[in-house]
């Protein structure tokens, strides 16, 4: 991307979109265009058509999506499918119709089969059944990835997709029920510490394994790949390291300084038992994460403390 290229970051007020804007600005890109959800609802085809025809961005980072943790996903399967499928088709299609040179579509590691061999390689896509708690979201993300691939094949575009592991960091969603596990734990342990609570209850059994990438590292990887990768196959974005949810709760409690007991509520879903990305393709392209999990949790906790409004979203 040329430093004065017109770059549209969709979803710039979200955790990932805001990190991509920060990274682009840090690297000297100065012609970034954005629209809030209120200004442009990406599910509305006519509005998206009008926006692209007028603005004609040269590059697009598609980081807008309906996003949520395990409960949000499993309780609203229809909404997660409809909104994600609609908005990504609208954006990718209009980008192509209006001559966008390169587009990056962001998916998620939940696109891979529930029982995929671990660590999961990009090539295991569509080789088995999906995890039921996020089946709708995964199907929408697989469709977006495939639409990019099919445009490349049929029309010779250079549209790429990346599949990040579980992310966390500044501008995360700290909603107590709808968020992902890391922001949920930051909020719950902080509130327990402030209230002097003797115990905190977390969801599921604590046995599932997860991998976490700090969002500023993710944004660095996205800009790097936009400049250094072309291809139909997606690229996994992660650290290649995992821990159990129980170990994660202990780490968050340590960072926050909560010393009470941690209990488990097995009536809440565990989700996929293990979800570790094979990051050898990413590393062979020349990129590796920088932020270790404990350091990243400290940074995320600072963000939580300094952005009280964010905690209420």
Ligand X SMILES: NC(=O)C1=CN([C@@H]2O[C@H](COP(=O)(O)OP(=O)(O)OC[C@H]3O[C@@H](n4cnc5c(N)ncnc54)[C@H](OP(=O)(O)O)[C@@H]3O)[C@@H](O)[C@H]2O)C=CC1
Do 271 and 203 contact (CB within 8 A), yes or no? no
The site partner of 11 among ligand F7E, ligand X, none (C-beta below 5 to 8 Å per kind) is: ligand X
Do 59 and 100 contact (CB within 8 A), yes or no? yes
**Which residue from 84, 86, 134, 234 is in contact with ligand F7E, where contact means CB under 6 A?**
134
Q: SS3 for 148? A: helix
Q: Closest CB to ligand F7E among 179 and 239?
A: 179
Rounded to whole angstroms, what are the CA distances from 239 to 118, 172, 177, 242?
Answer: 14, 19, 26, 8
CB atoms within 10 A of CB 244: 15
Q: SS3 for 277? A: strand
Residues 126-185 that bind ligand X (CB under 6 A): 164, 166-167, 173, 180
Q: Closest CB to ligand F7E among 17 and 69?
A: 69
The site partner of 14 among ligand X, ligand F7E, none (C-beta below 5 to 8 Å per kind) is: ligand X
**x/- site string to ligand X, residues 239 to 278, per CB under 6 A?**
----------------------------------------
Instruction: Look at residues 227, 219, 160 and name the one whose alpha carbon lies nearest to residue 1.
Output: 227
**Which residue from 41, 45, 118, 152 is in contact with ligand X, where contact means CB under 6 A?**
41
Stretch that binds ligand F7E, among 20-28, 51-59, 118-126, 174-182 (CB under 6 A): 174-182
Regarding 208 and contact with ligand F7E (CB under 6 A), the answer is yes
Stretch that binds ligand F7E, among 44-52, 54-62, 90-98, 268-276 (CB under 6 A): 268-276
Q: Considering just the CA atoms, what is the radius of gyration of the chain in Å?
A: 19
Do 7 and 57 contact (CB within 8 A), yes or no? yes
Regarding 71 and contact with ligand X (CB under 6 A), the answer is no
Regarding 108 and contact with ligand F7E (CB under 6 A), the answer is yes
Do 162 and 221 contact (CB within 8 A), yes or no? yes
What are the phi and psi torsion angles at 229 (to 5°)?
Answer: -135, 135
Regarding 274 and contact with ligand F7E (CB under 6 A), the answer is no
Q: Closest CB to ligand X among 19 and 253?
A: 19
- Catalytic residues, by residue number, are 137
Extended beta strands in 64-197, E state: 102-106, 159-164, 166-168
Catalogue the long-range contacts made by 78-85 (C-beta closer than 8 Å, 24 or more residues apart): 78/136, 80/134, 80/136, 80/137, 80/140, 81/136, 81/137, 81/139, 81/140, 83/43, 84/137, 84/140, 84/141, 84/144, 85/139, 85/140, 85/143, 85/144
**Which residue from 14, 57, 240, 271 is in contact with ligand F7E, where contact means CB under 6 A?**
271
Stretch that binds ligand F7E, among 34-42, 52-60, 203-211, 296-304 (CB under 6 A): 203-211
Total residues binding ligand X (CB under 6 A): 24
Report the alpha-carbon distance of residue 81 to residue 101 in Å, rounded. 27
Measured on CA atoms in the order 73, 146, 40, 46, is the torsion positive or negative?
negative
Regarding 73 and contact with ligand F7E (CB under 6 A), the answer is yes
Residues making up the binding site for NADP(+): 11-17, 106-109, 141, 164-167, 180
Residues in touch with ligand F7E (CB under 6 A)? 68-70, 73, 108, 110, 134, 137, 166, 179-181, 184, 202-204, 208, 210, 245, 268-272
Residues in touch with ligand X (CB under 6 A)? 11, 13-17, 37, 41-43, 63-67, 83, 87, 106, 108, 164, 166-167, 173, 180
């Amino acid at each position: 991307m040329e430093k004065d290229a017109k770059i549209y970051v969709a979803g710039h007020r979200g955790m990932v979109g805001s990190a991509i804007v920060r990274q682009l600005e840090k690297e000297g890109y100065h012609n970034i265009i954005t629209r809030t959800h209120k200004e442009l609802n990406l599910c509305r085809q006519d509005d998206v058509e009008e926006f692209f025809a007028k603005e004609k961005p040269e590059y697009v980072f598609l980081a807008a999506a309906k996003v949520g943790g395990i409960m949000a996903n499993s309780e609203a399967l229809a909404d997660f499918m409809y909104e994600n499928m609609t908005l990504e088709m609208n954006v990718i299609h209009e980008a192509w119709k209006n001559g966008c040179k390169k587009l990056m579509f962001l998916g998620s590691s939940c696109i891979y089969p529930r029982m995929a061999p671990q660590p999961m390689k990009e090539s295991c896509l569509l080789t088995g059944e999906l995890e039921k708690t996020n089946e709708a979201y995964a199907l929408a993300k697989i469709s977006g990835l495939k639409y990019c691939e099919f445009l490349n094949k049929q029309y010779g575009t250079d549209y790429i997709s990346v599949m990040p592991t579980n992310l966390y960091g500044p501008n995360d969603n700290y909603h107590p029920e709808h968020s992902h596990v890391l922001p949920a734990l930051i909020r719950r342990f902080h509130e327990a510490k402030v209230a002097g609570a003797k115990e905190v209850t977390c969801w599921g059994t604590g046995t599932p394994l997860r991998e976490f990438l700090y969002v500023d590292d993710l944004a660095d990887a996205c800009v790097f790949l936009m400049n250094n990768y072309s291809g139909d196959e997606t690229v996994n974005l992660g650290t290649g390291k995992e821990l159990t949810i129980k170990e994660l709760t202990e780490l968050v409690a340590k960072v926050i300084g909560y010393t009470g007991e941690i209990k488990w509520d097995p009536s809440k879903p565990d989700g996929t038992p293990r979800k570790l990305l094979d990051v050898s393709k990413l590393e062979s392209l020349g990129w590796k994460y920088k932020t270790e999990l404990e350091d990243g949790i400290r940074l995320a906790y600072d963000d939580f403390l300094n952005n009280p409004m964010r905690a209420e979203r």
